[in-house]
Every structure is written in C-alpha cells, then in structure tokens.
Amino acid sequence: MNANNRAQLHKYEPPNWASSLNSIPKYFVKVRKLEFVLADALDKKCDTVITCGGLPSNHCRTTAVAAKQLGLNCYLLLRSSDQKTVNVGCKGNLLLSRMAGSNIILVPELKYKSGLKPMMEKVAEKLRQQGSAPYLVEVGGSSYTGLFGYLTAFQEMMDQNLLEDFDDIVLTVGSGGTAAGIAIANYLTGSKLK
C-alpha cells in the first residue's frame, strides 16, 4: 500500500451517544459500512480485499469500485448455480465489478459461515503465500466495524432533523448490518422510533 492510499483516511469521531462503545474505528473513507471496513483495511496496511455475495450483489459491486478507487486489489466470491464464467454473462453489477478490475471467483450457492467464509479464508491464505496482505470483508460489509456506517447515518438524520416527523424507519435488509446499525443507534440515542 502506498502513502497516497493512507492519505485518503479521515479521522473518525463518534457521536457522543456512541462514544462508550468498544473498538471504535479510528478512520473512515466512503460509502456507509464500507467507509469503515475499507478504512480498517487501509489502516492495517492491507493491499487486497476479499468479499462474497450473489452474482448481482450491490455490496460486491460497491466493494469492487471502492477498492479500485483506493488502490486495493479485490477478490469477489460470487454465488452462482452455473460455475462457467462464460455462462454467467456480463450484465449489471457483474459488469461493473469486472470493469473495476476485480477478480471474480464463481462459487456454489453456499451458506456464509459454513461455506463462503471458509472459502474466503482459503483465498486469503493463498494470497498471503504470494506476498499479499488480504483483508476479509464480511458478507454485505456487515461486521462490528461496518455497523458504524449506520450509526453515522442515524446521527446525520438527527442533525438534519429528519427523525422528528416520523414514527418508523423502514429499510431493506440483506445481511443485517444496516438494520443492526440503525437499531443500535436508535437504542443508544433513546429514540422511540420503530
């Protein structure tokens, strides 16, 4: 990793209501969960990120593009019922991931903890043996570090007075990291939103 990559790190100061949490990230870079996850990878002097998802994964596409912008190599383990690269095509998020220069590895449609995570760890070990410094990004970027992206989003909504006029927050859920961050922020701030 070059010094230019570390120059992209921004110092993170949590909102007062979140300052009692353990292991608060030191830096952020961009795009909600990934802004903290990729900052952690850069801070740990990693040069490669590895993550997983489905063929049309928004998380994988975003990781591929952000990694390229930060000068990181990117490996995507993409679930597919067809293991022939030529058969999966090159549309949508898969096209953008390829355009960003990510390394695409097609894998069977396995569960994360029992199948995909061990596969990611094997790829990481092989890369370490080749001299790389890999960083594993949980599916969807949903990790303790990643949830700070949505603690920050909640604070932004508070700063913009958006929450005062609503009773509920509705969001989409994939890997659960967004929901976890919003729920924890809602609890820590004493908000009564549902």
* pLDDT tens-digit map of 111-167: 888 889 999 999 999 999 999 999 999 999 999 999 999 999 999 999 999 888 889
Both tokens assigned to 182 = 């919003």
Both tokens assigned to 178 = 């967004």
Q: 82, 79, 85: which is closest to 98 by C-alpha?
A: 85
Active site residues: 57
Half-sphere exposure in the Cβ direction for 47 (13 Å, CA): 9
Q: Reduce the DSSP state of residue 173 to 3 states and report it.
A: coil
Q: Does 6 map to a domain?
A: no
Domain identity same for 122 and 137: yes
Q: Does 114 map to a domain?
A: yes
Inter-residue contact 60 to 53 (CB < 8 Å): yes
Number of domains in the chain: 2
Domain hosting 35: range is 17-141
| pTM as predicted | 0.87
